Amino acid sequence: MKLSIERATLLRAVSQAQSVVERRNTIPILANVLIEAEGESVSFRATDLDIEVVDKAVAQVERAGATTVNAVTFHEIVRKLPDGALVNLTEDSTAGRLTIEAGRSSFQLATLPREDFPVMASTEYAANFTSTAPVLRRLFDKSKFAISTEETRYYLNGVYFHVADSENGKVLRAVATDGHRLARIDTDLPDGAETMPGVIVPRKTVGELRKLLEDDDTQIAVSVSETKIRFAAPDITLTSKVIDGTFPDYSRVIPMGNTRRMEVDAGDFAKAVDRVATVSSERSRAVKMALDEDRLILSVNAPDAGNAEEELAVAYGDEKLEIGFNAKYLLEIASQVDRENAVFMFSSPAEPTLMREGNDESAIYVVMPMRV
């Protein structure tokens, strides 16, 4: 294998691929990136056995071929090369070395044979559809904060991505919950998604996926099977196993009948919650909301540390209500609101509260109150 490639192009491709490589792993080949050159392009493939990323870049290929080198070291070298440099990659298979040359710099890295590199088995996908970066970004960005980190409940360690029935017909939906809060984000069902099986997309995949979605104009081809999901942008393809488990029936826990309605400016609300929570040193800081006729009093009472109170003007016309929440959960849901006011729908101090943006039902959040 012998090729030359522009440094910036190489860096972008390698950095996207190498980030899936598990830093602490005991199998040497999994620390490597597979470089394959053919025709007019070169591809970089990395995997942690659950996720596989393939990045393609344009290159002048003099001699086709493939080899693998340590992903992190390779990435570091490319990162430190001067901007604008032309990089030559030459594989010497008998010596088991890959030479990287740019200007006066020259590096030789040990290689492992490409045959040792695990390539993810291909799957028959049950559904294939196309979406755009902004749509997918909204689905996953607005739900991922609620993903559980509790390893025992592994089926909650991801976003449940599925087709659901809503009042406006079928929608494509992302749901995440850790049992204390829940996010449910809907978008129009793309053509071809009807047959999609519901899958739980792991947390790490959601993080890696984000890198494909930076550019608003990107079209993303999504393929889903019972065991795998694939997101393909023009230059980069991410394939991931999905979590083998059953996502709980979340529809029962979404309180649609809550009647006590409070409307508040989400930004003001978040800042006030953040301020009063400062006095508490507890690990899960409880904030009390006292509501009475267009007035919200936020308070924190930490017997050992101190107390704080702040009053906010809100729209509220129901009977008096006192209810407590984990400050962190309030801040997280409030920060999802970016266009209109936040609307909270309460029931009782012991039952789940619903939050949405204005009257938009396509993104709703449920949060469990906390005893205060």
3-state secondary structure of 222: strand
- The reply on whether position 181 binds other proteins by CB under 8 A is yes
Q: How far is the CB of 61 from other proteins (least distance, A)?
A: 47
Cα(305)–Cα(224) distance, rounded to whole angstroms? 51
257 lies in the site for other proteins, by CB under 8 A: no
Asked whether position 206 contacts other proteins by CB under 8 A, the answer is no
Which stretch, 65-73, 127-135, 250-258, 308-316, contacts other proteins (CB under 8 A)? 250-258
> Does residue 177 bind other proteins (CB under 8 A)?
yes
Distance (Å, whole) CA 362 – CA 356:
8
The span from the CA of 13 to the CA of 46, in Å, is 11
User: In this chain, which of 40, 150, 214, 360 binds other proteins, going by CB under 8 A?
Assistant: 150
Binding span for other proteins by CB under 8 A among 8-16, 113-121, 152-160, 338-346: 152-160
Tell me the DSSP string of 312-345.
Answer: EE-EE-SS-EEEEEEHHHHHHHHTT--SS-EEEE
Pairing of strands 219-224, 228-232: antiparallel
172 contacts 163 by C-beta, under 8 angstroms: yes
The verdict on 151 binding other proteins (CB under 8 A) reads yes
By CB under 8 A, residue 152 contacts other proteins: yes
CB 337 within 8 A of CB 309: no
Binding part of the chain for other proteins, among 14-22, 84-92, 123-131, 361-369 by CB under 8 A, reads: 361-369
- Cβ distance 100 to 77 under 8 Å? yes
User: Which one of 248, 265, 332, 361 is in contact with other proteins (CB under 8 A)?
Assistant: 248
Q: Which of these, 43, 37, 41, lies nearest to 58 by C-alpha position?
A: 41
Does 326 bind other proteins (CB under 8 A)? Our answer is: yes
Candidate list 244, 282, 294, 322; residue touching other proteins; CB under 8 A: 282
Judged by the rule CB under 8 A, the positions of this chain that interact with other proteins are 149-154, 177-182, 248, 250, 252-253, 282-284, 286, 324, 326, 350, 352, 366, 368-372
